[in-house]
Amino acid sequence: MQHNLARGAYFLALATLFTALLNALQKITGSTLSVVEIVFFRNLFSMPFVIAIALRGGLVLKTHHFGGHVIRSVVGLISMIMTVVAVTHLPLAEQQVLSYTQPLFLILLSIPFMHERPSVQRWVAVGVGFVGVIIVATGKGLLGAAHGTVPTWAYAVALGQGAVGALTTMQIRQLSATEKSTTIAMWQAILMTIATAAALPFVWQMPTRADVLCLIAVGAFAGIAQVLQTEAFASAQVSAIGPFAYCGLIWAALIGWLGFHEIPGVAMFIGGLLIIGSGLWMLRHERPQKQKVVLETESSSGA
């Protein structure tokens, strides 16, 4: 760990830019190609970058928890599919804002799965965050009459993706107790590629030359984003650089405005501030809790 805040913040902000770009490309291809096809090429063309990361940390495929990797990959695949569906039907900025609900769902899921007891402050943060979700989902003035009405179910998909993403994060935490992060990443890439490849014959739609270039870029941008995120979290603590992950909203709003003529409305800004604010509040309280755990561990071992 280098503890270089400037380096970590720069790489994390850059990673969110590539994520926003790949979402824009998924939005373009999602209007003509099947979702499974897009996810297949995303995993396939991001594989070289995943292998590069794995080789740096020592490529290890041996595992005693293959079933855990399968479950984690299935859940991760569902999350990717929901993301493509959401960005295809929602403005990029709204989809990005709703993706920030993942920490809120992580708190809710930690109760039955991790037997944790969230503090009052965290419950307040969850409540404020979901008020923001309601404001974003019910504020219909974003696109205007020229672009039609955004389907209500698309908001449900985007919100569901936040919940599934939280479940994926929880599974990674559980696997990380015995598995290397590179092992988890490699098995995810392999299993997701195989699963979507098996489904391709049933959903295949012939891509145009432009589609092929977009799909290659989707995979490359996903891989680059993963490399940059890995470098970011290797440079500084998550609690220190975490707020820079919200730069993704800036990129999404700019790309949506310039590329798709999506003009964010007041409801999106108000709801987004509440969701992001709740996330920042939880990041702020993450470090003291970790320090408390360390102190308790040290005192227990001293006793």
User: What is the rounded average pLDDT of the residues 288-298?
Assistant: 36
Q: Is the pLDDT of residue 126 over 80?
A: yes
Per-residue pLDDT tens over the stretch 167-190: 988 888 888 888 887 788 889 889
Q: Is the pLDDT of residue 23 over 90?
A: yes
Q: Is the pLDDT of residue 299 over 50?
A: no
Q: Is the pLDDT of residue 49 over 50?
A: yes
3: left (phi over 0), alpha (psi -120 to 50) or beta: left
Q: Residue 57 has what pLDDT? A: 67
Q: Is the pLDDT of residue 237 over 90?
A: no
User: What is the rounded average pLDDT of the residues 298-302?
Assistant: 35
Tell me how far CA of residue 17 lies from CA of 69, 195, 210, 270, in angstroms: 28, 28, 22, 22
Task: Out of 68-77, 132-141, 184-193, 223-232, pick the least confident.
Answer: 132-141
Reported pTM: 0.84
Q: Residue 297 has what pLDDT? A: 29
Q: Is the pLDDT of residue 285 over 70?
A: no
The string of DSSP codes covering 178-246 is TS-HHHHHHHHHHHHHHHHHHHHHHH--PPPHHHHHHHHHHHHHHHHHHHHHHHHHHHS-HHHHGGGGG
140 pLDDT tier (thresholds 50, 70, 90): low
User: What is the rounded average pLDDT of the residues 226-239?
Assistant: 80
Q: Residue 183 has what pLDDT? A: 85
Q: Which of 121, 87, 134, 158 is nearest to 271 (CA)?
A: 134
Per-residue pLDDT tens over the stretch 62-118: 888 899 999 999 999 999 999 999 999 999 999 999 999 988 898 888 888 777 788
